[in-house]
Amino acid sequence: MNRRLGILISGRGSNLQSIVDAIAQGDLHATIAVVISNRPEAAGLLRAREAGLETVCLRQKDFDGRDAYDAAVAEELRKRDVNLVCLAGFMRLVGRPLLEAFPNRILNIHPSLLPAFPGLEAQRQALEYGVRIAGATVHLVTEALDGGPIVLQAAVPVLPADTVETLSARILVEEHRLYPQAIQVVLDGGWRLDGRRFVVDAPASV
Ligand code: GRF
């Protein structure tokens, strides 16, 4: 099966780095075909170039509307024969043209135990709500914001002295472990959706 990834970023790119590292270490059997950013200043673009990856920057302001933008992203991915799209801190809602080009083939990582705390500043939301357990979720992307079927989750404790920064850092460690693992699960196939449930019928051997 085609294991070519397209990674979409907007910022720091630490999750991109964890995917690059997992591939280099042989823990993730995939190839990164392209890294696309919507922001030219994204630090992740630099990381990608340092890793020798092809990068593309597409800015919304150069396109006439959201659909045109999403269609252009889909085109860049298709041109490179991408099979799985990984959002890694991509700060845009994914619209129809992209969803339809890659049905159930777009993953996102979110820094909360969904369905709790979707949207922006998930770690702050968790801290302010007062939950004792926080975490990270990798899910398939649908039209619902942070609402698609869940592939993997990881939990971390919220400690009494936590700030948004310390909690985010603890969650990030889990994100970096979880995302490459979830990508491997999706690429390995043998899964299906049962309603909202992501069901693996033929788990990859461990
Ligand atoms: C991560 O916390 C991720 O869960 C969220 O955005 C952040 C991106 O961080 N979607 P990075 O750019 O991967 O370092």
| 110 counts as catalytic | yes
Q: Is this structure's pTM higher than 0.85?
A: yes
Q: Which of 8, 9, 10, 14 has the most ligand 1 atoms within 8 A of CB, as the residue to mutate?
A: 14
**Burial class for 192, CB neighbours closer than 10 Å (0-12, 13-18, 19+):** exposed
Segment 16-38 shows an average pLDDT of: 98
d(CA 172, ligand 1 centre) in Å: 8
* Residue 59 scores a pLDDT above 60: yes
CA distances (Å), 103 to each of 84, 96, 135, 140, 142, in order? 10, 10, 26, 9, 8
Digit-coded pLDDT (tens) for 147-182: 999 999 999 999 999 999 999 999 999 999 999 999
* Residue 203 scores a pLDDT above 90: no
Alpha carbons 40 and 93: distance in angstroms, whole number:
18
Segment 120-134 shows an average pLDDT of: 98
Q: What is the dihedral of CA 142, 95, 29, 172, to 10 degrees?
A: -80
**Nearest Cα residue to atom 7 of ligand 1:** 89
With tokens 């990381």, the residue in question is 47
- pLDDT, residue 180, reads 98
Pocket of ligand 1 (CB under 6 A): 9, 11-15, 44, 88-89, 109-111, 175
Neighbours of 205 (CB within 10 A): 5
> Backbone phi, then psi, for 187, in 5-degree steps?
-65, -30
- pLDDT, residue 202, reads 78
d(CA 15, ligand 1 centre) in Å: 6
Closest to 117 measured CA to CA, from 104, 105, 99, 129: 129
Ligand 1 atom with least separation from CA of 172: 2
- Sequence-ordered alpha helix ranges (H) in the chain: 14-24, 43-50, 66-79, 96-101, 122-129, 164-188
Digit-coded pLDDT (tens) for 86-95: 999 999 999 9
* Residue 205 scores a pLDDT above 60: no
**Nearest Cα residue to atom 5 of ligand 1:** 89
Digit-coded pLDDT (tens) for 96-111: 999 999 999 999 999 9
- pLDDT, residue 14, reads 98
